[in-house]
Amino acid sequence: MKSCLVVDDSRVVRKVARKILEELHFACSEAEDGRQAMEACAREMPHAILLDWNMPVMTGIEFLRRLRKMSGGDAPKVVFCTTENDLAHIQEALSAGANEYIMKPFDSDIIQTKFAQVGLI
């Protein structure tokens, strides 16, 4: 079973995403901000990370840049999942090492196709 870390400061979004991902047979863990996500990745690298952009303490993009410099940090497939929906943000995410990008609102179809495209499913 593949693991997915869901990083979002909204408890509701984490719950919805978790439900969708568990239906896709992912073992999920959660983090409320970038720093918690860093700690989780330091303990164990997940296969996938579903990542919000705007969060307190540490933003998603900052987390991603740090993750990609960590030992083993190039392994997880990172899928942004954010309300930021303009080209500039998407390009910034891709150049920071994101594998896919979901613009909120999302549904299970979108998560499924995006995860399939990066080879997680």
Which residues in this chain contact another protein in the complex, by CB under 8 A?
85-87, 90-91, 94, 100-103, 106, 109-110, 113-114, 116-117
User: What are the C-alpha distances in Å from 53 to residues 50, 90, 107?
Assistant: 10, 11, 18
Compare residues 43 and 109 and give the one whose CB is closer to another protein. 109
Which one, 56 or 117, has the nearer CB to another protein? 117
Distance CA 23, CA 25 (A): 5
Q: In whole angstroms, how close is the CB of 100 to another protein at the nearest point?
A: 5
Q: Rounded to the nearest whole angstrom, what is the least distance from the CB of residue 101 to another protein in the complex?
A: 4
Q: Which two tokens stand for residue 45?
A: 């690298």
Say if CB 61 and CB 92 are below 8 A apart.
Answer: yes
Q: Which is nearer to another protein, 55 or 102 (CB)?
A: 102
3-state DSSP call for residue 44? coil
In the numeric block, the tokens 């079973």 are attached to 1
Q: Give me the phi and psi of 76, to 5 degrees please.
A: -65, 140
Q: Between residues 55 and 93, which has the closer beta carbon with respect to another protein? A: 93
